[in-house]
Structure 1
Amino acid sequence: MASSASTGPKRQAQQYFTELILLTGLVMICWPRIQPVGTTRPLAAAVDRHLAIHDGVDSRPYRSTAAPVDALACAGLLQVTDRILSADDLREALSPLAPEENRNRTGIPPTRHLIWDNVFKKQRSACSERFQQAADTIVPTFRRTGKGGFRLPATGVGLRPEHIPACLPQELADRHLGFLSDTTPKMRRRAAAVFLVRRARGGGLDTAAQFLGINPENKRMGYTQLLNRRLRASGKARDFEQALDAITAELLKGPVIDYQHRREVLATWTLEPEDWQHILTRLPDLTSHRKPLSDDRRRLAVSAYIWTRVTEGEPDFAPCPPHIAPDPALRAVWTRERHNVFHWLRTTDHQPYYGALKPLLEAHAEHLAKAIDHCQ
């Protein structure tokens, strides 16, 4: 037992030493930016002199990660590094070491990225889990199966991909994604879901979008090009990562829902005709000359609405009923009818008939969701 008890502190000391060495090199690379993190003036001056000497000898910026021979300079770097590692919020403390520069490859020479990334790849398993999770969002290349390989899942996420809704709930988006004011609300909710899935299962953004049922290529372009470009150009990439952290924490607090299972069950589902007729009997009589809802096209369009409520998906990605999907003309009619029904359900203040229909559809969706979850 004594041997086992002594293993913990020894392992922690080894991890701390590894992290100290890793960060000392990165602190030297980013020194002008992170100096305010804290050290005494004499020690900071010693670090400045050490870096100035190398800049003078080699006309390029200093790129070595080796600890300085000068004792004062070494002490200054270690002091800053120790304060970073001791921070309560390690991710926040690490972020000044590699903000946007480590994402878009601008601002500092690419060689500096390679030094940090390559060293971290080699030493990652020797670091503590806390350090690995904190560094997860600031090191862009280490989470891969190999050179040019697939991205690996992020460590310590705690959220499985099947538990992520395809379209982030509006209230979550309002709380955490408001800073993306130059992005449409639909794109914010869709993009957050895609990025969360990539965190949880690895791979690329296109693969994550396909997992969520976002299949049309023109719908996936924004993840790899538009949104990433905007985040980098606006300096909001770090804010977006922190927003994903907060969203993940909220999803983990709520009930665990297997949205992937719901999507699979409802892939070919439509509202049964008898259920549709039962809903219609509970609606008020029409007092206008509007066309009644009872035709089959409305039943199929309403099925798409129920699908979005059960799966937390987007109307654009509701599966077309299989018996009309092969026919382009019938599919076009279904798409148009679905669009109309969704519009009327969103404007129930001016559509009393749909105002009465909407809660009936919500109740049916809730009952269907419980039945699917119960049969897992």
Structure 2
Amino acid sequence: MVLDDWQESREAAVIPVKTPFLLSPRFDYDVALNGFFLSADMIGLAWNTQDDYARDVKAFLNFLWHRKRRHALQDWSIDIDTWEQLSSKLPPTPGPVQPVLDDRKRRVASIYVWTRGTNGEHHDAPRPIQAQQPLITQQRWASQITTIYARIIRADPHQHYVDLRKLLDPIADRIAHRIDARDCSALLK
């Protein structure tokens, strides 16, 4: 049904077949943005050239979109109260040894949420929790970040990390949605 509606809308707007188009992150068709692809200069180009232009514009707009999220989250981390609520929802692991759920794990969880929400690399994530620690602790934590982060993102993580991701993914999605809901026109200036 949606596809039929799209076909009808496209035909009503007289958009030629194979003309590229872009959708907003909310899956809206932006008439002004897509007007570029309907210009006389673009319509006269080969379809694969038009497609290349669309991919370049998309890459640039994605860059702006993720930049907006990174800017909004530059000093963000999971606060202590939220971390305590989250960690209390984690089921116990089998055996007598339980995972440590201290500030170090909270820092890695914050980095995971940041990377998921910004599509960034964990090396680029801000580390406000780490910055609040004594210098010797900062240095030790810095050397351990890749190992601990890898445990969260690996394809076959231990059950503890599967459970942790199940709690963190909705937080990342909710934060990204809130940031995306803000007006981003200032980024284009």
Q: TM-score, normalised by structure 1?
A: 0.32
What whole-Å deviation, never above 9, does each CA across 1:104-161 have from its counterpart, x for those lacking one? xxxxxxxxxxxxxxxxxxxxxxx94545994xx9xxxxxxxxxxxxxxxx79943362
1:287–1:365 Cα change, 3 Å: same
- Distance, in Å, in 1 between the alignment partners of 2:178 and 2:144 is 27
Deviation, structure 1 residue 262: 0.3
State the one-letter code of the partner of 2:58.
Answer: L
2:159 paired residue among 352, 358, 373: 352
Q: Secondary structure at the match of 2:128?
A: coil
1-structure distance, mates of 2:54, 2:166:
41
Moved more, 324-333 or 296-305: 324-333
C-alpha distance in structure 2 between counterparts of 1:281 and 1:155, whole Å = 46
Mapped to 2, the partners of 1:156 and 1:343 lie a distance apart of 31
**Structure of greater Rg:** 1
CA deviation string 1:206-252 (max 9, x = no partner)? xxxxxxxxxxxxxxxxxxxxxxxxxxxxxxxxxxxxxxxxxxxxxxx
Separation in structure 2 between the aligned mates of residue 317 and residue 276 of structure 1, nearest angstrom = 22
1:310–1:366: 8 Å Cα contact kept in structure 2?
yes
- Contact 1:297–1:334 (CA<8 Å) still a contact in 2? yes
CA RMSD of aligned residues (A): 3.5
Q: Which runs of 5+ in 1 are unaligned?
A: 1-87, 89-126, 138-153, 165-256
Selected match of 1:261 from 63, 68, 81: 68
Looking at structure 2, the residues matched to 157 and 367 of structure 1 have their Cα atoms a distance apart, in angstroms, of 28
Instruction: Check conservation: 2:77, 2:129, Cα contact below 8 A.
Output: no
Structure 2 spans left out of the alignment, 5+ residues: 1-17, 19-39, 184-189
SS in structure 1 opposite 2:58? coil
2:167 aligned with 1:371: no
Judge conservation of contact 1:271–1:299 (CA < 8 Å) in 2. yes
* Structural mapping, 1:1-376, within 5 Å: 128-129=41-42, 130=44, 134=49, 157-159=56-58, 161-164=60-63, 258-290=65-97, 292-321=99-128, 324=131, 329-347=136-154, 349=156, 351-376=158-183
8 Å Cα contact 2:130/2:138 also seen in 1:
no
- Greater RCO (Cα-Cα under 8 Å, separation 6 or more): 2
Q: Give distance in 2, aligned partners of 1:321 and 1:274.
A: 16
Q: Which amino acid aligns with 1:315?
A: H
Residue 268 of structure 1 aligns to a residue whose secondary structure is coil
Q: 1:128 & 1:357 partners in 2: Cα distance?
A: 51
Q: In the superposition, relative to structure 1, how do residues 155 and 350 fare at CA in structure 2: closer, same or farther (>3 Å)?
A: closer
> 1:71-100: CA deviations, max 9, x gaps?
xxxxxxxxxxxxxxxxx9xxxxxxxxxxxx
Q: What amino acid is the match of 1:163? A: N
Alignment TM-score, normalising by the size of structure 2:
0.60
Secondary structure, aligned partner of 1:313: coil
Q: Please tell me the residue identity of whatever aligns with 1:359.
A: K
Alpha-carbon shift at residue 296 of structure 1 (Å): 0.9
On the 8 A contact 2:116/2:172 being kept in 1, the answer is: yes
Question: Aligned in 2, Cα 1:155/1:282: closer, same or farther, shift over 3 Å?
Answer: closer
Task: Tell me the SS of whatever aligns to 2:145.
Answer: helix
Q: Distance in 2 between matches of 1:293 and 1:271?
A: 16
Alpha-carbon distance in structure 1 between the residues aligned to 2:65 and 2:85: 29
Aligned residues: 142
Native 8 Å contact 2:131 2:138 kept in 1: yes
Q: Secondary structure at the match of 2:146?
A: helix
Q: Deviations over 1:307-337 (max 9, x none)?
A: 0000011112112227618965343333334
Task: Give the aligned residue type for 1:371.
Answer: R
SS at match of 1:287: coil
Counterpart-to-counterpart distance in 2, 1:322 and 1:281 = 20
